[in-house]
Structure 1
Amino acid sequence: MNYDVTIVGAGPAGLFASYELANYLNGNQKYKILLIDKGTRALRRNCPLMSPKEKCTFCNPCHINYGLGGAGTFSSGIINLRPDIGGELHELMRSWDAAQEMINYVDSILLKFGAPKDRLFRPNEEKVKEIQKKAAKAGAEFVPILQRHIGTDKSPLVIENMTNYIETSGIQVAEMTEVYNVQKTGNNFVLKTNKGDVESKIVLLAPGRAGAQWFYEQTKKLAIDTVPGPLDIGVRVEVESFVMDELTSAVWDPKIIMYSKKYDDKVRTFCVNPRGYIMKEVYDDGTIGVNGETYADKKSNNTNFAFLATVKLSDPLEDTIEYGKSIARLMTRLGGEKPIVQRLIDFEKGRRSTWDRIARSTVKPTLKDVTPGDISMGIPYRIVTDLMEGLEKLDNISSGIYSSNTLLYAPEIKYYSVKTVVDSNMETVVDNLFVAGDGAGLSRGINVAAATGVLAARGIMTKLDLN
């Protein structure tokens, strides 16, 4: 099979690149374009954990991590409408105004395909000022952001609508297609897949967070220039919703950033899910993790958020993905292939939680497929210290977080891969090889991932002389 352009990965980066190319093609069949994804279509993605059984059956591939729409499809569907949240788009584009315009463009496309117009959350200025004062006194920073909430229940339809548009515009979509490796042969690329070889003149790699390890392996084979990337390691915190009401009434997904006293490590909140649920993730290598989701209609009594410490490594161990995976492997074994849940009071005292102790908490866990245990048995001491310090600071901003009722789930690890060296069109040092999104280390969220996909598509159009 021969194509002019092949896009690997149909998450936000790959989908938005496909959309941009579809727009410029405008039905023109002159160019053959293929969009590949390891998983299935958005409306066919069905996690057993979301069924009444609430039991992980280790689907291959995991419907939470893989499939059209990417891992973000079953997240809370929060779109941060700022270019410096979810990545550094303003640095990639070398202009704040241009980057903000791009984020607005991404938002307009989501609205076009069904994202709810009435779920735009503007920061409450009066409440924001009060929280910023509290944060400053606690030694933290509270960042107010304009956000759109699509919702876990609404996102699949938005993705499906977008996919249908892409297909009717002439782009071929290949689901359940795994790319084993990418080779440069002469002026073309050959992609080895489970459904045969694909030859392409231009390739865009957008494998997403779940494909970060795969992408890292490809960079070595293809001699793509990269720099070491960071890694976020931590836990997902679950509290009763009223504990976080002051924060979530000011900003839907409040961003709080701080630096630990002992190690000066960056610690932050991420992906806050007001009245949301916690989900289990399963990766290709069998390691597990946790994430959060929020529905537009369905509500729990709890609010959850990721609490993450940023890790940067240097020579001789610069492979942050392998470092993260080594922790994930240990945590997976400790939890018997299930995430570990622990009361904060037990975490503080260094003792294992049991189901009896969990039952004493007023917080009723929204993820049942877990193992009560001791998170500090698998998370490095430095990270544990960062998290403990950070949770105490958070309690000074939102009283009740540092409580014996609070539940912690682990591991929550964000694999961002190495950061790829690219030009303004997202092209690598390898001619005609473009990259985009979280898997390439260029973003840390749906908004910037989508934006890098658009930038890559525009660079590809220049190569195809479509402009």
Structure 2
Amino acid sequence: DGKLTTGIKDYRKQFVLNTFYEHGASEDILYLNKPHLGTDVLINVVKNIRKDIEKCGDVRFETKLVDIIIEDNQLKEVVLENNEGTYKEKVDQLVLAIGHSARKTYEMLYQKQLEISQKAFAVGMRIEHSQEFINKSQYGKFYDHPALKAADYKLAVHTSQKRGVYTFCMCPGGYVMNAASEEKRLVVNGMSNYKRDNKYANSAILVNVTPDDFGSSHPLAGMYFQRKLEEKAFELGGSDYSIPVQKVEDYLENKEGIENIETSLKRVKNANLNALLPEILNINLKEGLLLMNNKINGFTSNATLLGVESRSSAPIRFYRDENMESNIKGIYPIGEGAGYAGGIMSSAIDGLKCSEVLLKGER
């Protein structure tokens, strides 16, 4: 939904913000501490950026990269597929700005022997409260003041087992979304429109996982770990793409809960989400929830969990050298899907850095 917050310090941030503003974003992103575009605004911003790209390049819709041709460790051609079939194209440089859910592309690149390593990430669920509750917890008696926007929060704790549990991608006045991208698998995400005026607030609540949790040394083991969770979520949701949901208090007590839970999502199914995550993650997520309840009183009351949130960041990292080039010459993996960024702003900056490398010396 266009959250532009980032912890990195880089002079390129202003260029990114200016670019979004020049293509239709609200002016407030230029000065707010937590700039946010909103899904409804972002749709047109991206379209406007794409129109500018088309003025100086070629955007091919309904076309995907399905193979790469390598000779003597050097990229020679790419194989593309569209509605008319597949075709080859000679290229000397390929920038892989793929997303962290580009699983078929991950597998193809692994087969082509691009160097890939496992990476720690985090999994969990979405937690949803009424926005009124969040406003009261943050603003107190001024919770309904017309000058105040929908309140947000950011929580992070460490459990007794040394696991980090934290909230991520908090969406004030937002919606939980079914973000399934593969058949018979489920994953949730969150979004807010620019006004953030829905009656619900949601956030990912995540537990750190490391390669030790994957059960394999295979470079793509983290991706397969994600898939297992998403298959289980699909099963718990009734195998019809309904999202499995449970009240937080029932999850904490590992008991079946009430039916017909009301959420921002319409297509949901009551389930025991203790069956979703591995037990070690359940233990740490429950402890984390209780610790967060000490920070926001009532955080675990009248709250709903929706599962599964498995794609907080990429489960892999491509090797690249100081010039951002992979072990295969001519290929440049960048952004979140490459394992080098964690959101819109850091991905954009990674892309700018890559463009500077590729354009070096050109006039």
Category of TM-score, reference length = shorter chain? 0.7 to 0.9
User: SS of 1:209's equivalent?
Assistant: coil
- 1:319-361 superposed Cα distances (whole Å, 9 cap, x missing partner): 11111111111221221232211111211121223425x2xxx
Q: Does 1:201 align with 2:92?
A: yes
Deviations 1:234-281 (A, max 9, x none): 0100001132224487996543222211x2111111011111111101
Q: Is the 8 A contact 1:121 1:149 kept in 2?
A: no
Pick aligned residue for 2:49 from 162, 166, 181: 162
Note the C-alpha offset of 1:219. 3.8
Counting only pairs closer than 5 Å after superposition, residues 247-326 of structure 1 correspond to structure 2 as: 247=138, 254-261=153-160, 263-297=161-195, 299-314=197-212, 317-318=216-217, 319-326=221-228
* Partner of residue 104, structure 2: 214
- In the alignment, the residues of structure 2 paired with residue 309 and residue 120 of structure 1 have an alpha-carbon distance, to the nearest angstrom, of 32
Residue 446, structure 1, aligned to residue 344, structure 2: yes
| 1:351 lines up with 2:242 in the alignment | no
Work out the CA distance in 1 between the residues paired with 2:152 and 2:104.
30
Q: How does 1:55-454 map to 2 (within 5 A)?
A: 76-83=1-8, 99-119=9-29, 122=32, 146-169=33-56, 171-185=57-71, 187-195=74-82, 196-197=86-87, 198-211=89-102, 213-245=103-135, 246-247=137-138, 254-261=153-160, 263-297=161-195, 299-314=197-212, 317-318=216-217, 319-335=221-237, 336=239, 337-356=241-260, 358=261, 364-403=262-301, 405-414=302-311, 415-454=313-352
Q: Evaluate the alpha carbon distance shift between residue 172 and residue 406 of structure 1 in structure 2; reply closer, same or farther with a 3 A threshold.
A: same
Q: Find the residue that maps to 2:225 and give its secondary structure.
A: helix
Change (3 A) 1:247 1:434: farther
Give the Å deviation of 1:398.
1.5
Give yes or no for contact 1:234–1:411 (8 Å, CA) kept in 2.
Answer: yes
Distance 1:110 1:252, change over 3 A: farther
Q: Tell me the CA shift for residue 218 of structure 1.
A: 3.6
CA, structure 1 residues 269+350, in 2 after alignment: closer, same or farther (shift >3 Å)?
same
Report the Cα offset of residue 438 of structure 1: 1.3
Q: Deviations over 1:287-346 (max 9, x none)?
A: 111111111136211110000111001486141111111111122122123221111121
Q: CA deviation at 1:232?
A: 1.5
Deviating 4+ runs (over 6 angstroms): 248-252
Structure 1 381/253 Cα, relative in aligned 2: closer, same or farther at 3 Å?
Answer: same
Compute the RMSD of aligned alpha carbons.
2.3
Determine if contact 2:68/2:75 at 8 Å carries over to the other structure.
no
Q: Relative to structure 1, is the Cα distance of residues 251 and 264 closer, same or farther in structure 2, using a 3 angstrom cutoff?
A: farther
State the TM-score, normalizing by the size of structure 1: 0.69
SS of alignment partner, residue 59 of structure 2: strand
For residues 406 and 159 of structure 1, what CA distance do their matches in structure 2 show?
34
Q: Aligned with 2:201: secondary structure?
A: strand
Structure-1 residue corresponding to 2:144: none
Distance 1:107 1:251, change over 3 A: farther
2: CA distance, partners of 1:120 / 1:309: 32
2:142 is aligned to none
Evaluate the alpha carbon distance shift between residue 182 and residue 320 of structure 1 in structure 2; reply closer, same or farther with a 3 A threshold.
Answer: same
CA distance in 2, matches of 1:448, 1:400: 34
The sequence identity of aligned pairs, in percent, is 21
Q: What's the CA shift for 1:388?
A: 1.1
TM-score by length of 2: 0.87
Once residues 343 and 442 of structure 1 are traced to their aligned partners in structure 2, the CA distance between those partners, rounded to angstroms, is 35
SS at match of 2:287: helix
1:359-405: CA deviation from partner (whole Å, max 9, x where unpaired): xxxxx4100111111111121111111211111121122222110x1
Aligned to 1:296, what secondary structure does the other structure show? coil
User: Alpha carbons of 1:232 and 1:388: their partners in 2 closer, same or farther (altered >3 Å)?
Assistant: same
Distance 1:79 1:221 in 2: 34
Contact kept in structure 2, 1:417 and 1:438, CA below 8 Å: no
SS in 2 for 1:161: helix
Matched position secondary structure for 2:107: helix
Partner letter of residue 305 of structure 2?
A: L
- Given that 1:354 and 1:372 are in contact with CA atoms closer than 8 Å, whether structure 2 keeps it comes out as yes
1:1-35 CA-partner distances (Å, limit 9, x unpaired) = xxxxxxxxxxxxxxxxxxxxxxxxxxxxxxxxxxx
Gaps of 5+ in 2: 140-147
Counterparts of 2:265 and 2:30 in 1: how far apart (Å)?
28
